[in-house]
Amino acid sequence: MASAYWSALNDTIGGDPVESLIHFYGLSALRLLLLSLVLTPLVRFSRQPALMRLRRPLGLWAAAFATAHLAVYVVYDLQMNWALVLSEVIERPYITVGFVAWLVLSVLAVTSLPRLVRALGKRWKPLHNTVYLAAALVCLHFLWSVKADIVEPGLYILILAVLLFLRKEKLFRYFRSSKPHNG
């Protein structure tokens, strides 16, 4: 992350360092996020439970890259023109979706602190299952941001679809149990 930033400062990362950096951070966030989600089925198939320990750092790095992605957009692209930042977040659906995804990831990152994990107890798991929602929003944000070349976002959407399919029963169960029971 830092080396990309250093290259951007020194103008050695493509013709427009701002765009290069935004794309690099954004894509890295998406890839890390999907990688963290791939771990669960991978552990099951490979029977290597030790791999599970990677899930937390992968998720945290995804959140960090998402934060860097947003920060470069606000600071170097929109140049802290806050009125513009606000209007883009509110009026442009693809920015709105990306922003919501970042909010979700941030909440998940913060609630990964051991103390908060303990404090949340049983509620921690349903809360952290919203990572699938965040992943879906990130994919939509990517798809919506491109002008015409939908192949790359399509690929990530396919990966996410497969992941959701593999986890469908578990997710359905959480979804049902998190709804209030009214008889």
Partner 1 sequence: LQRELEFAKATSTQQTLTSEAKVTSYNNFYEFGLGKNDPRENAAGFRVDPWQLQLDGLVDQPQTLGYEDLFGFDLEERIYRLRCVEAWSMVIPWVGFPLADILKRAGVNSSAKYIAFETLFDPKQMPGQRSRLGGGIRYPYVEGLRMDEAMHPLTFIAVGVYGKTLAPQNGAPVRLVVPWKYGFKSIKSITRIQAVDKQPPTTWNLAAANEYGFYANVNPEVDHPRWSQATERRITRGGLGSDERIATLPFNGYGEQVAGLYQGMDLQRFY
Q: Which residues contact 49 (CB under 8 A, 6 or more apart)?
A: 43
Of 129 and 145, the one with the shorter C-beta distance to partner 1 is 145
How far apart CA 40 and CA 51 sit, in angstroms, is: 9
Contact set for partner 1, span 2-21 (CB under 8 A): 5, 8-12, 14-21
Single-letter residue type at 104: V
50 versus 148: smaller Cβ distance to partner 1 = 148
The count of other CB atoms within 10 Å of the CB of residue 154 is 14
Q: Is 129 helix (H, G, I), strand (E, B) or coil?
A: coil
Query: Site residues for partner 1, window 91-130 (CB under 8 A)?
Result: 91-95
Token reading at 21: 């950096």
Taking the complex as a whole, the smallest distance from the CB of residue 145 to partner 1 amounts, in Å, to 8
Q: Tell me the C-alpha distance between 120 and 127, whole Å.
A: 9
How far apart, in whole angstroms, are the C-alpha atoms of residue 42 and residue 164? 14
CB 39 within 8 A of CB 52: yes
By CB under 8 A, the residues from 128 to 147 that bind partner 1 are 144-147
- Site membership for partner 1, residue 81 (CB under 8 A): yes
How many residues make contact with partner 1 (CB under 8 A)? Answer: 35
Candidates 60-68, 87-95, 109-117, 120-128 — which segment interacts with partner 1 by CB under 8 A?
Answer: 87-95
Q: Are 21 and 5 in contact (CB under 8 A)?
A: yes
* Of positions 78, 89, 100, 143, contacts partner 1 by CB under 8 A: 78
With contacts defined by CB under 8 A, name the span among 33-41, 46-54, 84-92, 105-113 that binds partner 1: 84-92
| Contact set with partner 1 (CB under 8 A) | 5, 8-12, 14-21, 76-79, 81, 84, 87-88, 91-95, 144-151
